[in-house]
């Protein structure tokens, strides 16, 4: 009896069956394709993983099939799930972004303790991760918002992982995350700590925006080869196969080759039968909106988003094709020389897209007060993710050589590459205009490059116009400053003699 009394004082329920000691190194909630494959990946790396899903029949089905014989345990409630996790508990959510993430966090909190870790691996918008990091820190819980890229295959055999949030969580998830992540050609894990708050999901958002841009550029190259040069899908596939052995070697070029080679059961290319209406889930749009909010000219991703919107207007375009006239492409000359020019144009445009992406990342770090690891960001994208390519090794090297690099175009390697590509790039863009084949992504990349390298843009006239009609003021160039037009001052001029001297407030868009 005395022993039982001591046990009760110690908080032990003498009459209840003993609860097994926590056995799982890691817990994952959400057994859709990505969740299941990530669990299998972690189990293959020697970790014991606890799986839970709101529909518990999925847990049983998973344990009886794909997870059978592996170091994977299941749970039928949130309480049971948390009880099976070693401390500090490491819980990863792979559920639909938005409200479901918050609902699961609320369900978890009563069963967690101080310093436990919640990881959101979904496609959450970074402001939500900012909010969750702060709110959970106040409750003693360490929150991580992690980008996960690579699709089903990446999750199973090695994704790109981009974690950010409460930095004190990193030492406790580093081994697992770097263990299950993809590895670069040099053997480095495609995962490192990104930075504060929602920076992990921000980097994933930019990754997806660049993915939009890369895909649009590839589609425009395909259109030029098809309508401009008159090549068949198989011949275009041969072009992409060759490109995949050079500077354009990448996952997206590789899968484009495979798509173009793929025939339907009747022996004809399937790609030609697919309806030309592109879908999108919003992350590219988020990138473009954030670029506008921060005043960053991320023009290529913006054009890629708008191109998908234009593709959705299929009925309008079909009608317009019978009403609106234009030139008919007719190629004359050396086809291989043009294909070589197109390869350089695609390479140069990709350089611009990534330069713009890193400009946005740098501005976000300033705006949100984040300490970001730029060399590691490029490294994270070298394997496992959709935009993985040999090209990213050069970006990693550029930021390792100079972590404070102002712009990717200022790096010697990329500066030389884009200068070497210019002749072909300009030839391709000008030919497309003459042929009437739209190249919004190629064209905006070249326009950005020419604008960025121009010391004096025509915005001086724009400022004069704004001051004329709205008294929005302007500033004088330092070399023309005088008593009437002092340097660094907002100036309003009475352009017609009929206006007043009162000016509007100034602002930066």
Distance CA 324, CA 319 (A): 9
pLDDT reported for residue 22: 78
How many other C-beta atoms can be found within 10 angstroms of the C-beta atom of residue 157?
15
Is the domain of 365 the same as that of 224? Answer: yes
Is 282 known to sit in a ligand binding site? no
Is 53 known to sit in a ligand binding site? yes
Is the domain of 169 the same as that of 293? Answer: no
Is residue 335 among the annotated active site residues? no
Q: What is the CATH number of the domain that holds 497?
A: 1.20.5.320
Strands 49-52 and 26-29: parallel
Running DSSP on this structure, what letter comes out for residue 263? B
How many other C-beta atoms can be found within 10 angstroms of the C-beta atom of residue 61?
15
How many other C-beta atoms can be found within 10 angstroms of the C-beta atom of residue 407?
14
pLDDT reported for residue 211: 92
Among 413, 438, 453, the domain boundary falls at 453
- Composition of the chain by helix, strand, coil, percent to 5: 55, 10, 35
Q: Give the structural domain span for 168.
A: 26-193
pLDDT reported for residue 13: 44
Is the domain of 287 the same as that of 316? Answer: yes
How many other C-beta atoms can be found within 10 angstroms of the C-beta atom of residue 182?
23
pLDDT reported for residue 5: 39
Is 466 known to sit in a ligand binding site? yes
Is the domain of 169 the same as that of 30? Answer: yes
Is the domain of 272 the same as that of 416? Answer: yes
Residue in the structure block whose two tokens are 């407030």 = 505
Using an 8 Å Cβ cutoff, are 41 and 179 in contact? Answer: no
Residue in the structure block whose two tokens are 């990505």 = 34
Establish how many alpha carbons lie within 13 A of residue 249's alpha carbon, considering only the half-sphere containing its beta carbon: 11
> Of these residues, 58, 188, 211, 220, which one is catalytic?
211
Q: How open is the CA angle 172-174-177, to the nearest 5 degrees?
A: 120
Is 1 known to sit in a ligand binding site? no
Nearest to 224 by CA among 17, 386, 23, 440: 440
Q: What is the CATH number of the domain that holds 32?
A: 3.40.50.720
Q: How far is CA 457 from CA 84, 425, 461, in A?
A: 63, 22, 9
- Return left, alpha or beta for 282; rule: phi > 0 is left, psi -120 to 50 is alpha, else beta: left
Among 411, 436, 453, the domain boundary falls at 453
Using an 8 Å Cβ cutoff, are 428 and 220 in contact? Answer: no
Q: What residues of the chain score a pLDDT lower than 70? A: 1-20, 499-509
Omega of the bond leading into 435 within 30 degrees of 0 (cis): no
Is the domain of 488 the same as that of 442? Answer: no
In residues, how long is the chain? 509
Indicate whether 9 belongs to any domain: no
Distance CA 109, CA 100 (A): 14
Query: Into how many domains does the chain fold?
Result: 3
Is the domain of 166 the same as that of 315? Answer: no
Q: What is the CATH number of the domain that holds 216?
A: 1.10.1040.10
**3-class secondary-structure state, position 389:** strand
Distance CA 60, CA 53 (A): 10
Is 35 known to sit in a ligand binding site? yes
Is 162 known to sit in a ligand binding site? no
Distance CA 79, CA 184 (A): 38
Is 150 known to sit in a ligand binding site? yes
Is 373 known to sit in a ligand binding site? no
- What does the H/E/C string look like for 337-370? HHHHHHHHHHHHHHHHHHHHHHHHHHHHHHHHCC
User: CA-based diameter of the chain, in Å?
Assistant: 103
Running DSSP on this structure, what letter comes out for residue 474? B
Among 425, 453, 481, the domain boundary falls at 453
Is the domain of 414 the same as that of 462? Answer: no
Residue in the structure block whose two tokens are 């025509």 = 458
Indicate whether 17 belongs to any domain: no
Strands 49-52 and 142-149: unpaired
Is residue 66 among the annotated active site residues? no
Is 33 known to sit in a ligand binding site? yes
Backbone angles phi, psi at 22, to 5 degrees: -55, 135
* Cβ neighbours for 477, distance < 8 A, ≥ 6 positions apart: none
Is 31 known to sit in a ligand binding site? yes
Is the domain of 369 the same as that of 467? Answer: no
Backbone angles phi, psi at 382, to 5 degrees: -75, -20
> Of these residues, 204, 226, 374, 431, which one is catalytic?
204
Is the domain of 161 the same as that of 302? Answer: no
Is 359 known to sit in a ligand binding site? no
Task: Tell the burial category of 164 from Cβ atoms under 10 Å away from its Cβ (0-12, 13-18, 19+).
Answer: buried
Strand order in the sheet with 49-52: 72-74, 49-52, 26-29, 90-93, 117-120, 142-149, 160-165, 195-196
pLDDT reported for residue 375: 82
Is the domain of 466 the same as that of 374? Answer: no
Is the domain of 120 the same as that of 231? Answer: no
Indicate whether 200 belongs to any domain: no
């Amino acid at each position: 009896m005395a022993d039982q009394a001591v046990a009760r004082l110690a908080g032990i329920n003498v009459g209840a069956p003993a609860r097994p000691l926590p056995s799982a190194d890691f817990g994952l909630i959400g057994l859709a394709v990505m969740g299941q494959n990530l669990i299998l990946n972690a189990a293959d790396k020697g970790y014991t993983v606890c799986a839970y899903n709101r529909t518990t029949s999925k847990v049983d089905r998973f344990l009886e099939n794909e997870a059978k014989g592996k170091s994977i345990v299941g749970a039928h409630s949130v309480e049971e799930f948390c009880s099976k996790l070693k401390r500090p508990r490491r819980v990863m959510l792979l559920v639909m972004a938005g409200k479901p993430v918050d609902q699961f966090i609320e369900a978890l909190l009563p069963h967690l303790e101080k310093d436990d870790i919640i990881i959101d691996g979904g496609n959450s918008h970074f402001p939500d991760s900012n909010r969750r990091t702060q709110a959970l820190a106040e409750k003693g819980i360490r929150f991580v918002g992690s980008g996960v890229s690579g699709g089903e295959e990446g999750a199973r055999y090695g994704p790109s992982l981009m974690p950010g949030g409460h930095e004190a969580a990193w030492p406790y998830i580093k081994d697992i995350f770097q263990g299950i992540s993809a590895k670069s050609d040099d053997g480095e894990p495609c995962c490192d700590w990104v930075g504060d708050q929602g920076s992990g999901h921000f980097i994933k958002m930019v990754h997806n925006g660049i993915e939009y841009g890369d895909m649009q550029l590839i589609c425009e190259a395909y259109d030029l080869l098809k309508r401009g040069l008159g090549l068949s899908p198989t011949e275009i596939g041969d072009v992409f196969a060759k490109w995949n052995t050079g500077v354009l070697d990448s996952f997206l070029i590789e899968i484009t080759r495979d798509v173009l080679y793929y025939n339907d059961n009747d022996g004809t290319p399937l790609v030609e039968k697919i309806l030309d209406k592109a879908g999108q889930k919003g992350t590219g749009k988020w990138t473009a909106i954030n670029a506008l909010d921060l005043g960053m000219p991320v023009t290529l991703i913006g054009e890629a988003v708008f191109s998908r919107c234009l593709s959705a207007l299929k009925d309008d375009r079909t009608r317009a094709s019978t009403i609106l006239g234009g030139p008919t492409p007719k190629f004359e000359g050396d086809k291989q020389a043009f294909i070589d020019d197109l390869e350089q144009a695609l390479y140069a445009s990709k350089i611009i897209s990534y330069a713009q992406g890193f400009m946005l990342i740098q501005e976000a770090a300033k705006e949100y007060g984040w300490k970001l690891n730029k060399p590691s960001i490029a490294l994270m994208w070298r394997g496992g993710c959709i935009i993985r390519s040999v090209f990213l090794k050069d970006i990693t090297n550029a930021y390792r050589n100079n972590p404070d690099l102002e712009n990717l175009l200022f790096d010697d390697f990329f500066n030389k590459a884009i200068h070497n590509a210019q002749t072909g790039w300009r030839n391709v863009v000008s030919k497309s205009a003459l042929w009437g084949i739209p190249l919004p992504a190629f064209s905006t990349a070249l326009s950005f490059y020419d604008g960025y390298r121009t010391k004096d843009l025509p915005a001086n006239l724009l400022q004069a116009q704004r001051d004329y009609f709205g008294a929005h003021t302007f500033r004088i160039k330092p070399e023309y400053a005088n008593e009437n037009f002092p340097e660094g001052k907002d100036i309003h001029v009475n352009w017609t003699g009929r206006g007043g001297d009162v000016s509007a407030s100034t602002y930066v868009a």
